[in-house]
Amino acid sequence: MFQVLNPLDAICDKPRVEAICVSQLRNAKKVDESILQERPDVKIFLPFRFLFYKPEELFKANTYNRFLVQSPNLSHPFHLHGYSFHVVGIGRSPDQNVKKINLKHALDLDRKGLLHRQFKLPPLKDTIAVPNNGYVIFRFRADNPGFWLFHCHFLFHIVIGMNLIFHVGTQHDLPPVPETFPKCGDHLPPIMFL
């Protein structure tokens, strides 16, 4: 018998015979208990509306504001550069009347303790499929200073802004830029005037 990993219906708060969610997997290695405390040091909510367009519609000038069409069964593979993270929760709203989860609804569910979390050896990932109209809760220790890209792996979603930069640390925490590091324009051939 086969099991689907991360089913599209994102029902992850109970065991299933035909499917398993990443948050139901267990890490084979010891997990730093301090990052799995009930209340993290910093909590960030990143609301995204997922989009579905044909490529020929995507690259028309001055049309990016129209890409807010909801796709019914699409999950989105989000990737974080510079870190791995522990997946402690994934799913959809437990409120069956909610058709589109938004920031206010997610905050209400979190405040009421209704977003499913699993702290027993959560798996370590650097990419996670976020369910359409759902959520993912992950934890990591921000101890790698730099500017780290977090993005959906669908190219056209990156183009329309489904990405962001985590700035970890201060300028003082970063190593110095090598003198030989390429600068803007270094890759262009010299211009010859005749």
Give the pLDDT of residue 106: 85
**Token pair belonging to 190:** 């010299």
Domain 4-173 has CATH 2.60.40: yes
Confidence of residue 193 (pLDDT cuts 50, 70, 90): low
Of 56, 66, 55, 44, which is closest to residue 136 (Cα–Cα)? Answer: 44
DSSP state of 56: H
Tell me the chain's radius of gyration from C-alpha atoms: 20
| DSSP symbols for 166-187 | EEES-GGGSPPPPTTS--TTTT
Whether 34 has a pLDDT exceeding 50, the answer reads yes
Q: For residue range 120-139, list pLDDT tens digits in order.
A: 999 999 999 988 778 899 99
3-state secondary structure of 57: helix
Task: Look up tokens 């979390």; give the residue.
Answer: 117
Give the pLDDT of residue 126: 95
Whether 95 has a pLDDT exceeding 60, the answer reads yes
Whether 71 has a pLDDT exceeding 70, the answer reads no
Of 131, 156, 152, which is closest to residue 64 (Cα–Cα)? Answer: 156
Tell which wins on pLDDT, 134 or 54: 134
Tell which wins on pLDDT, 56 or 134: 134
Q: For residue range 138-181, list pLDDT tens digits in order.
A: 999 999 999 999 998 887 777 777 889 999 999 899 988 898 88
Average pLDDT over residues 79-105: 86
CA distance 23 to 131: 13
Give the pLDDT of residue 143: 93
| Minimum mean pLDDT range among 10-19, 21-30, 183-192 | 183-192
